[in-house]
Structure formats: C-alpha cells, structure tokens
C-alpha cells in the first residue's frame, strides 16, 4: 500500500459496519431489548432467546438491511421459502447420508445438465474436497494422510496470478504447493507429474479474455489430462453451465449466495468420477474433510434451492430490483445537488442492479463515508457498498446493491438516506493540532491478542509536521508504515500481504511521555490492545575507520 493511500485510510477507524471495538459490543448486548410476538418464549428471561420475529434483538443483536451483497460476514442471503420448508421436513427423519448424497447428486445432474452434482459445507469446503480428490485419486490410504503429502506424486496445483485470492486457502489446506504463473509459457513449464489440477477464479476479466483465459488453459489441460476447478462462488447458476461448456472439470458455487440455498452449503457440478472422490473426502467419511460436515438438511435444502432456481422468473426479479432502486433514487434526488445513477444487472458474477448516490460534500457538509457509517451504526441499520470521496472531482458517494434486499426495504432505505442528506449538517472546521511529541525512533510494542501476546517493533524514521513514516516489524515481516500525529493522538497503519491474504495493522493510540497505547485494529480479524514504549538508545563512540587496502584498490590510488 502506498504511503498516501495509508494516510487516506486512517480517518476510517474503526471501519463502519466491519470493525468494532469489543467494549461497545459487550455493552450493547447487555441492554434489555423489548420483544413482541415472541412465539414459544413470549416472556423470556432477560437476555434469553425469544423465538419470534425479534429473535436476534432478544439477545441484543440488531439485524441489518443488506444493500451490499452476498457477503458471508453479514449472513450471505436469505433462504428461499421453498428451502426453509424443505429443511424443516428434512430435519424430521434419519437417513443414510451416503444414500442421500448419491440421490441428490444424481438429481442435481438431471436438473443442471451436468454429469453429477455434490453438496458441500460451503464453496470453500467444496474446493478443498476437489483438491483432495485430485491428489489422492480416490485412494483412501492417501486420503487419511492428507495434509502430509510425503510419498504422493501429485502435490502441486497451478493457478494464474489473476486467480490468487483469499479463498484459495481452501486449496492450500490440502497440503499442496500452489504454483502461480503469469504467462501461458510459464503454465506449460509448470505442468509436470506433480500437477494435481489447475485452479481458476472466474470473476477477473482475464478469466474470459487474454492468454490465460479458461478456453486457452482448457486446451492445454485436456491434452495433459489435468482437471480444472473453477471457483464461481458468487455467480448465478447457468444452465447449461457456461464453465463446464468451456472446459472446466468441476465448477464450485456458494449455496447461500445468488442461489439462496442454505448459507452453510456449497454446490459442485461436473465430472462424476472426480465428484465421487470428492465426496469420499467429505464428511461423514473420516479424513481431512471430516471437519466440513454437511448434514441431511443442507443436502435437501441445496437441492430445493436448485429445483426452485429453474422455476424462478429471474427477469421479473431483476425488474423488481430496478423498481426498488428507482423508488430510492426518486426520493433522494429531490434533494438539491444529489445525483443518482442506476446500473442494470450485468454478467453472471454478483449479478445485481446497483444505485450510485453522489453529491458535493462541501455543499451538504457530509461525506459518503460518514453517510455509510451513520446507516450502519444507527437503527434501522443499513449496510451499503460503502462511501467514497473523490477529492479531485469534488464529489462523494454511496452505492447500493438490490439483489439481497427484501420487499419493503426500499422505503426504509429511502427514508434513512433522505433524512441524513436533507438535514442541516454543520460545516466542519477542521483544526489540526500540532503533534504533542516527536515520535521518531525505535519503539517496542507489546500486543495483547485475545488468547496470547506478541512483540512487534516500530522504526519511525521521519516526522514532518503531523505526518510520520517508517517501518513496522510484525510477527514475520518488515512492513512500510505511515500515519498521523495530532495532539496526543497517534494513528499508524501498515499492511501485511501474503498468499493473497491481507491484514491491515491500524494502531490507534494516545501518547503519554515515552509511551503510546490503545487499540490495534486488524480488519476482519477484529482487534487487539497494544502498548508501545520508546526503546533506549545507546550512543557508541565512533573511532577512525580504517579501510583494508588488500583485496581492492589501494587508498592512495583513489
């Protein structure tokens, strides 16, 4: 991350709707919430779960309206009524899970036109099962040894650079080496007897176009008899399947996203033999997939979602999305200076209608980031695609996605946004306090994680006015760091990146003498506490330095 990008993000601590400190969270869940129409527990004890429309509020959790998309962190999607009904019936009996998996797999193939289907406990789990199938070839003696691949022939998976992402950890969990390639020549050179499969992430544009598109890779893979796994987690289901048609061996979907099946289910479609081996690597069978249990309810719920998918009127659903966004746009655009733009659904990945709402932050005295935070933090809570400010163009905006909204949400969302943008927001007079201290130097940092401690170091090399920069020694890495010092408040940020994973380190502290301490924000990994103490510096006398004359030019020849 570039220095100016780091400084720019420091104003967003904590990130609205994503990170919250533990203290307000604990305080909020201890507050008594009124529960109406609570069903079986109409008079619950304080804090007890109340079965009814306010089930979340009964334990202190306030639900959100989803105008962002199919994000697992906010619950994915809402299951279809047909799915909920199927799951209820499925939960009332016992069955042999192997028999159920075979029947469901066959039926999924019949509906989708694929050779076979399999239900997994989420898309990522399905990706791990397919990887295990490719390295074991269905041999159970190999299966029970994973992730120790000692003595295995197939131990590598090839992925183009554009396919590397946070979710490929599911593949690496099988113990394989993930080989990243940039060109077709590199891909061909990487293929060997150790190659188990090729992994492709379908979202990037390079998947469809360019030298390493699926079509070009499929030509090479077919010749070498190497299976291709396509990760299409957030896509709509296409029948006939576009990825299998283009050469994929297996395509993996999230069950709880666009398909609106069980949130803890995934859908695998493709080659029957390979999916049999993938099922062999899945629970209830012992081995590396036993911890990814998929129950009878997920099997039936996922099948019900796919059965319903082929009957749904997708065009009418998309028209409804547009109507919702048009309602919101009409209301908020009545505010002077507010501009709206609706984008029609496109493609298959995260297919949805989108609404952009933009304005001049100087005119309304509020930014998109502040509006997004207000919507996320105050009831009724609304999660959007976030706020963005373009200082060069003098505009700010928020974005909404419609495909996970529920009927009636559009009125609540329109009213909330209208109220925020139409109110008289006071003009902010930003007064930047001079720094209370010069923080250049070395700092020893004690970090208190939830269940343990860590030791980091900061080397703050340069402080100009309120801006400060240097390096951060984290657990394993040396990272660039930048930040701001205003009065006795210090905010510093670095970014750790490895294997397509990213961890932001955001230090938010208060200076007291030769110490500053506070909260360390860790993005999706929540928070820790930290205390930074200035390291003692030892002055060492420097004597005359003599340069040896042997092994190089003599000093008198310089």
170 and 199, same domain (yes or no): yes
Instruction: Identify the residue with better confidence: 439 or 48.
Output: 439
Within-domain flag for 15: no
Is 105 within the bounds of a domain? yes
Lowest mean pLDDT among 42-56, 160-174, 187-201: 42-56
Report, as an integer, the average pLDDT of 146-172: 96
Q: What is the pLDDT of residue 46?
A: 67
Q: How confident is the model at residue 37 (pLDDT cuts 50, 70, 90)?
A: very low
Same domain, 272 and 224: yes
CA distance 288 to 125: 10
Q: Taking 70 as the threshold, does the pLDDT of residue 2 lie above it?
A: no
- Specify the pLDDT at position 551: 55
Both tokens assigned to 528: 């820790």
468 and 513 fall within a common domain: yes
Under the banding of pLDDT at 50, 70 and 90, the label for residue 363 is very high
pLDDT above 60 for 438: yes
Q: Is the pLDDT of residue 529 over 90?
A: yes
Considering the domain architecture, whether residues 417 and 455 belong to the same structural domain is answered as no
pLDDT value of residue 44: 61
Question: Which range is least confidently modeled, 13-17, 104-108, 212-216?
Answer: 13-17
Report yes or no on 547 lying in a domain.
Answer: no
318-349 confidence digits (pLDDT tens) = 999 999 999 999 999 999 999 999 999 999 99
For residue 195, is pLDDT > 80? yes
Average pLDDT, stretch 300-311? 98
Residue 1 falls within a domain, yes or no?
no
271 domain-assigned: yes
Q: At which of 281, 309, 337 does a domain end?
A: 309
Does the pLDDT value for residue 31 go beyond 90?
Answer: no
Query: What is the token pair recorded at 17?
Result: 């709707």
Of the candidates 138, 192, 149, which has an alpha carbon nearest to the alpha carbon of residue 172?
A: 149
* 197/340 same-domain check: no
Residue 459: which H helix or E strand, with range? strand 453-464
Q: How far is Cα 331 from Cα 416, in angstroms, rounded to an integer?
A: 11
Same domain, residue pair 155 and 192: yes
| DSSP-assigned letters across all residues of 233-264 | TTBPP-SS-HHHHTT-SEEEEETTTTT---TT
Distance between CA 97 and CA 18 in Å, rounded? Answer: 37
Beta bridge partners of 486: 489
- The pLDDT of residue 89 is 97
Q: Which residue in this structure is represented by tokens 């109409």?
A: 42
Q: State the Cα angle at 493 between 487 and 495, rounded to 5°.
A: 180
Q: What is the pLDDT of residue 5?
A: 42
Cα 452 to the chain's mean position, in Å? 25
Residue pLDDT, tens place only, 196-217: 999 999 999 999 999 999 999 9
pLDDT (0 to 100) of residue 378: 95
Residue 389 Cα to chain centre, angstroms: 22
The 10s digit of each residue's pLDDT in 365-400 is 999 999 999 999 999 999 999 999 998 899 999 999
The helix/strand/coil state of 277 is: helix
170 and 295 share one domain: yes
Domain shared by 261 and 376, yes or no: no
Specify the pLDDT at position 548.
Answer: 73
Which pLDDT value is given to residue 24? 34
Q: Which two tokens stand for residue 558?
A: 């310089």
CATH code at position 390: 3.30.1360
Rounded to a whole number, what is the distance in angstroms from the first to the last CA of the chain? 43
How far is it, in rounded angstroms, from Cα 160 to Cα 199? 8
Q: Where are the beta strands (DSSP E) in 38-173?
A: 64-66, 116-120, 156-160
Residues 339, 367, single domain; the answer is yes
* Nearest CA-CA partner of 428 in 335, 364, 338, 368: 364
Which of 155-169, 217-231, 347-361, 422-436 shows the lowest mean pLDDT across its residues? 422-436
Give dist(CA 386, CA 5) in Å, integer.
17
Domain count, the chain: 3
Round to whole Å and give the CA distance between 38 and 29: 18
User: Mean pLDDT score of the chain, rounded to an integer?
Assistant: 90
Domain boundary among the residues 402, 427, 452 is at: 427
Please tell me the predicted confidence (pLDDT) of residue 553.
Answer: 52
- Cβ(330)–Cβ(338) under 8 Å? no
Q: What is the pLDDT of residue 422?
A: 95
Residues 298 and 338 reside in one and the same domain: no
Q: What is the pLDDT of residue 540?
A: 65
- Domain limits for position 529: 441-534
Q: Are residues 107 and 250 in the same domain?
A: yes
d(CA 84, CA 59): 23
What pLDDT was estimated at residue 429? Answer: 78
User: Percent of the chain, pLDDT > 70?
Assistant: 89
Does residue 62 sit within a domain? no
**20-34, 410-424, 442-456, 531-545: which has the minimum mean pLDDT?**
20-34
* 10 pLDDT tier (thresholds 50, 70, 90): very low
The predicted structure's pLDDT at residue 430: 76
Cis ω before 147 (30° cut-off from 0): yes
pLDDT value of residue 26: 31
Residue 14 has pLDDT above 50, yes or no: no
Please, which pLDDT band fits residue 300 given cuts at 50, 70 and 90? very high
Residue 19 has pLDDT above 90, yes or no: no
pLDDT tens by residue, 226-262 = 999 999 999 999 999 999 999 999 999 999 999 999 9
Does residue 238 lie in a domain region? yes
User: Are 410 and 416 a contacting pair, CB within 8 Å?
Assistant: no
Please give the average per-residue pLDDT across 83-97, as a whole number. 97
Q: Report the C-alpha gap between 269 and 502 in whole angstroms.
A: 30
What value does the mean pLDDT take over residues 258-283?
97
Distance CA 179, CA 376 (A): 40
- The pair of three-digit structure tokens given for residue 202, joined into one six-digit string: 């379908």
Which whole-number Å values give the CA distances from 136 to 142, 146, 148, 197, in the listed order?
Answer: 6, 9, 12, 12
**Are 456 and 517 within one domain?**
yes
Question: At 499, is the pLDDT very low, low, confident or very high (cuts 50, 70, 90)?
Answer: confident
Six-digit token pair at 468? 């400060």
The Cα 356–Cα 36 span in angstroms is 36
Residue 316: CB partners within 8 Å, gap ≥ 6?
none
**Contact at 8 Å (CB) between 177 and 156?**
yes
Query: Who has greater pLDDT, 516 or 498?
Result: 516
Domain CATH for 462: 2.40.128.120
* Residue 479, domain member (yes or no): yes
Neighbours of 440 (CB within 10 A): 14
């Amino acid at each position: 991350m570039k220095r100016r990008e780091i400084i720019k993000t420091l104003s967003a601590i904590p990130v609205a709707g994503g990170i919250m400190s533990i203290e307000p969270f604990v305080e909020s869940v201890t507050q008594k919430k009124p529960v109406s129409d609570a069903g079986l527990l109409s008079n619950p004890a304080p804090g007890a779960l109340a079965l009814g429309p306010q089930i979340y509020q009964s334990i202190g959790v306030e639900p959100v309206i989803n105008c962002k998309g199919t994000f697992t962190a906010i619950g994915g999607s809402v299951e279809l009524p047909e799915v909920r009904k199927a799951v209820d019936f499925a939960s009332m009996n016992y069955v042999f899970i192997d028999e159920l998996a075979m029947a469901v797999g066959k039926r999924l193939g019949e509906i989708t036109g694929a050779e076979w289907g399999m239900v997994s406990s989420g898309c990522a789990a399905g990706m791990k099962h397919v990887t295990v199938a490719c390295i074991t070839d269905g041999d159970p003696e190999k299966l029970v040894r994973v992730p120790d691949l000692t003595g295995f022939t197939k131990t590598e998976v090839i992925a183009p650079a554009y396919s590397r992402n946070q979710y490929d950890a599911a593949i690496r969990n099988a113990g394989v080496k993930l080989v990243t390639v940039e060109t077709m020549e590199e891909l061909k050179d990487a293929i060997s007897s150790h190659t188990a499969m090729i992994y492709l992430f379908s979202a990037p544009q390079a998947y469809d176009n360019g030298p390493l598109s699926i079509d070009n890779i499929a030509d090479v893979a077919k010749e070498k008899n190497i299976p291709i796994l396509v990760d299409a987690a957030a896509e709509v289901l296409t029948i006939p399947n576009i990825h299998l048609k283009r050469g994929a061996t297996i395509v993996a979907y999230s069950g709880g996203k666009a398909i609106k099946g069980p949130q803890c289910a995934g859908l695998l479609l493709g080659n029957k033999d390979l999916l049999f081996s993938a099922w062999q690597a899945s629970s209830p069978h012992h081995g590396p997939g036993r911890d990814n249990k998929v129950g009878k309810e997920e099997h039936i719920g996922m099948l019900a979602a796919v059965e319903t998918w082929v009957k749904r009127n997708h065009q009418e659903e998309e028209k409804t999305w547009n109507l919702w966004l048009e309602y919101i746009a009409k209301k908020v655009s009545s505010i002077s200076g507010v501009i709206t733009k609706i984008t029609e659904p496109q493609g298959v990945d995260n297919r949805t209608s989108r609404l952009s709402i933009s304005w001049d932050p100087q005119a309304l005295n509020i930014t998109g980031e502040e509006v997004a935070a207000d919507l996320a933090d105050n009831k009724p809570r609304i999660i959007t695609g976030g706020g963005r400010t373009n200082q060069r163009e003098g505009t700010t905006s928020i974005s909404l996605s419609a495909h996970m909204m529920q009927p009636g949400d559009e009125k609540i969302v329109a009213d909330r946004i209208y109220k925020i943008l139409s109110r008289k927001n006071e003009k902010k007079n930003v007064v930047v306090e001079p720094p209370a201290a010069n923080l250049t130097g070395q700092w020893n940092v004690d970090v208190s994680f939830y269940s343990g401690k860590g030791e980091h170091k900061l080397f703050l090399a340069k402080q100009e006015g309120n801006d400060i920069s240097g390096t951060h020694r984290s657990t394993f890495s040396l990272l660039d760091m930048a930040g701001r010092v205003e009065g006795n408040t210090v905010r510093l940020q670095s970014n750790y990146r490895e294997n397509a994973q990213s961890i932001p380190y955001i230090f938010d502290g208060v200076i007291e003498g030769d110490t500053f301490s506070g909260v360390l924000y860790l993005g999706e990994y929540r928070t820790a506490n930290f205390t930074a103490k200035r390291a003692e510096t030892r002055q060492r006398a420097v004597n005359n330095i003599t340069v040896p004359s042997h092994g190089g030019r003599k000093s008198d020849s310089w």
